[in-house]
Amino acid sequence: MGALIVLAIVSFFGYLLAITIHNLYFHPLAHLPGPFLCRVSVLPSFYHAVKQDRHVWLWRQFQLYGRKFRAAPNLVVFNSPDAYNSIHSHKANVKRSKFYDVWSRNADDVNALMTSDVEIHARKRRLLNLAFTDHSVKAAGPFIAKHIDRCNEILADSAKQNDDGWSSPRDITMWSKHLVFDILMDLCFGATMNTKEPGDSPLKKVPLAIDDFVSHNYPITKIPFFDLLAWLKPRGLDPLLEFVIPRTIKDHYAFVEDMVTKRLEEQRKRETEKTPIEREDMLHFLCTAKDPDTGKPAFGFTELLSEANLLIMAGSDSTSITISALFFYLTHNRRVYLKLVKEIKETFASPEDIVHGPKLMTDCKYLRACIDEALRLAPPVPSELPREVLPGGTTIAGEHYPGGVIVGTPHWAMGRNEEQYGDAYTFRPERFIVSDELDSLNTEEDVRMLKRGLHTFLKGPGDCVGQKLAMLQMCIVVARTLWRMDVRLAPGTDVGAGNEGLGWGQRDPRQYVVGDAYIALHKGPVVQFRVRQD
């Protein structure tokens, strides 16, 4: 027995040694620079995924190794617009990596996001597009306005209770999470959640479960022996993983199932009684979608659950992080804040005029530039979205990469590319506006070149299906709020700001700090509002 144990130990370490030698000298990526441990193991990537600072770690390596480096034995990441556009173009010979498969709860939990299968993704994406037409986005405007108007009313009531006219401090992260969640539940299910209302409610914890979900799953996508895990999941591992899912995530699944069940019952009742449709919410389009090949309903119950979960998760947090980051930078940059308020007040005679249309979506150039700048510095997805190179290989930024290699471009680092943006750490929306003013000279070509590297809603076959709706939400929320309310950083607070203790890359108190768990985790800023007197 002792000899067998010794043989097993020797075999194990011999295997590790062989893998190490292969990764260092014979792997297709062996010629690329990178930290020694990254070239032989996925442990550094896994470690920083657990710490939720993987995006900052990647940025630090770019400062040391240049535009590209080997972040794991089979992963190369890039920090250049050329690489991004090569990887994410429609013609790129790549597909989503197995990273996406691990997010699903089981084999039936497959939506437009959680699959690496090209055909399944394309089919589900075509069907999901039905819920995000230009008509449906425009129709969403009044519902978004209704919710932000109520939010502004609550802020005004709070401000009236204090002698100085300022409201009680508000954590914009919590404020925006509840606001956007209420909007999405209204648009998706026609449901009223009222999590933005004052007072306690068990529903207020529902938007927070999304953070728990991604924090639990993201490190799993970076673990050693990930390929084995991905292979085992549909082969009996899924039921075992159910036992380690945190309670908050199980509660979230139960909430989504309850909402979909109620919505389907309403749909069946309407069809039975042949009552007219008062309003076509997003789930209506999914419920009535037909498979073009069979003519049967495109989504079964389990698939509807998965798509509904995707809409809630992707729709709420991506918008919330941008609103939170924008308010952080506005309260730390008085010049930008006053310039934005001036544009909004001069463009619209009243907050009720702030609706979907060219005045808001096109004419308010500074508002759009402020949102783009917030997206650049605090992208909803901080790290890379991994793509697997298909057989035959692909060319990225002028260099060939063989099939099987994983490639990606981390968004947080991309937004801080000094070769691309110059003063990359400064919140300066003017960089995205064409201008012939001497103090802000910017040609159309300058702006076009900058936007080549700004793809926070992604591009190509994996771009964000709800990006137009998200942009409309952000524009209406910010414009109506700033038209009515003045805002300031709550005295003595620095929630969300960088500090020395966070280390290289997050020391600047003028920078908004986010965590990395696939989507951005965030807190603050804590601000106060008061009703405008002008």
Segment 498-517, tens digit of pLDDT: 999 999 999 999 999 999 99
Of 449, 470, 533, the C-alpha closest to 82 is: 449
**Helix/strand number for the chain, H first, E second:** 21, 12
Amino acid letter for position 455 = H
Mean pLDDT estimate for the chain: 91
Give the pLDDT of residue 498.
97
CB count within 10 Å of CB 4 equals 8
- In the numeric block, which tokens belong to residue 521? 């985790």
> If you classify domain 32-531 with CATH, what class do you get?
mainly alpha
Ranked by mean pLDDT, the top range of 185-194, 267-276, 368-377 is 368-377
Q: pTM for the full model?
A: 0.94
Residue ranges of the binding site = 464
Pairing of strands 75-78, 406-408: parallel
pLDDT tens profile 73-103? 999 999 999 999 999 988 899 999 999 988 8
Of 414, 381, 69, the C-alpha closest to 218 is: 381
Instruction: Kindly provide the b/e burial profile for residues 205-233, where b requires at least 16 CB atoms within 10 angstroms of the residue's own CB.
Output: ebbbbbbbbbbebbbbbbbeebeebbeeb
Residue 170: φ, ψ to 5°? -125, 130
Q: Does the bond joining 525 to the residue before it have cis omega, within 30 degrees of 0?
A: yes
Residue ranges of the binding site for heme = 464
Angle between helices 467-484 and 334-347 (to 10 degrees): 90
Pairing of strands 68-72, 406-408: unpaired
CB count within 10 Å of CB 395 equals 11
Amino acid letter for position 111 = N
- In the numeric block, which tokens belong to residue 389? 């190179």
Give yes or no for residue 374 having a pLDDT over 80. Answer: yes
CB count within 10 Å of CB 269 equals 10
Give yes or no for residue 301 having a pLDDT over 70. Answer: yes
Residue ranges of alpha helices (H) inside 223-378 are 226-232, 237-241, 247-273, 282-288, 301-332, 334-347, 358, 365-377
Q: How confident is the model at residue 220 (pLDDT cuts 50, 70, 90)?
A: very high
> What is d(CA 281, CA 185) in angstroms, rounded to the nearest whole number?
10
